[in-house]
Copies of this chain bind each other. A is one copy, B any other.
Amino acid sequence: MLKGKVLIAQGGGPTAVINQSLVGAILESRKFPGVEHVYGALHGVSGIVGEDFLDLTQETRANLEAVAATPCSALGSTRDKPDIKYCQEISKVLKAHDIGTFFYIGGNDSSDAARIVAEHAQATGHDLTCIHIPKTIDNDLMVNDHTPGFPSAAKFVASAFAGINQDNAALKGVYVGVVMGRHAGFLTAAAAGARLYDGDGPHLIYVPERTFNMNNFVGDVKRVYAKHGRCIVAVSEGIHDAKGAPIITSLMKNVEKDAHGNVQLSGTGALADLLCDQIKAKAGIKRVRGDTFGYLQRSFLGCVSDIDQIEAREVGEKAAQFAHFTNKRHGTVTIHRTGNYAVEYKLSPVSAVAAKTKVMDKGMINKAGNDVTDKFMKYLTPLLGTGGLPTVSRLDRTNRVKKILNKK
Q: Point out residues on A near B: beta carbons under 8 Å.
A: 10, 13-14, 37, 39-40, 43, 50-51, 53-56, 58-59, 63, 66-67, 69-79, 92-93, 96-97, 159-160, 162-164, 166-167, 169-171, 175, 194, 266-270, 272-273, 276, 288-296, 298-303, 389-397, 399-401, 403-406
Chain B nearest Cβ from A308, distance in angstroms: 15
* Given the contacts A289-B295, A300-B160, A395 and B56 also touching, CB distance less than 8 Å: yes
Q: Report 9 cross-chain contacts, Cβ distance below 8 Å, ordered by A residue.
A: A56-B399, A58-B399, A67-B393, A70-B166, A71-B167, A164-B296, A268-B276, A268-B290, A289-B294
A123 to B278, CA, bound (A): 49
B268 near A270 with CB under 8 A, answer no
| Contact with A292, one of B53, B288, B291 (Cβ below 8 angstroms) | B291
Chain B residues whose CB sits within 8 angstroms of the CB of A273 once the complex forms = 268-270
Could you tell me if B163 and A296 are in contact, using CB atoms closer than 8 angstroms? Answer: yes
Are A71 and B276 touching (Cβ within 8 A)? no
Task: Give the complex CA separation of A75 and B393 in angstroms.
Answer: 12
Among A167, A175, A276, A392, the most chain B Cβ lie within 10 Å of the Cβ of A167
Residue from B58, B66, B268, B405 within 8 A of A93 (CB atoms)? B405
Identical chains in the assembly: 2
User: CB-CB < 8 A to A268: which residues of B?
Assistant: 269, 272-273, 276, 289-290
| A387, chain B: closest CB distance, angstroms | 10
Cα distance A392–B289 in the bound complex, in angstroms: 33
- Contact call A266/B289, Cβ cutoff below 8 A: yes
Q: Which of A59, A78, A267: most chain B Cβ within 10 A?
A: A267
Pick the most buried of A53, A79, A170: most chain B CB atoms within 10 A of its CB: A170
Give, as a whole number of angstroms, the nearest-CB distance from A23 to chain B. Answer: 10
Cα–Cα distance between A394 and B22 once the two chains are bound (Å): 12
Among candidates B66, B73, B166, residue contacting A71 with C-beta atoms closer than 8 Å: B166
Cα A55 to Cα B55 with chains together (Å): 65
From B13, B40, B160, B270, A395 is in contact (CB under 8 Å) with B40
Pick from B39, B267, B404: contact of A401, CB below 8 A. B39
Kindly list 7 other residue pairs between chains A and B, CB separation below 8 angstroms, not including A76-B169, A268-B272.
Answer: A14-B166, A53-B400, A54-B396, A70-B392, A74-B393, A162-B301, A269-B272
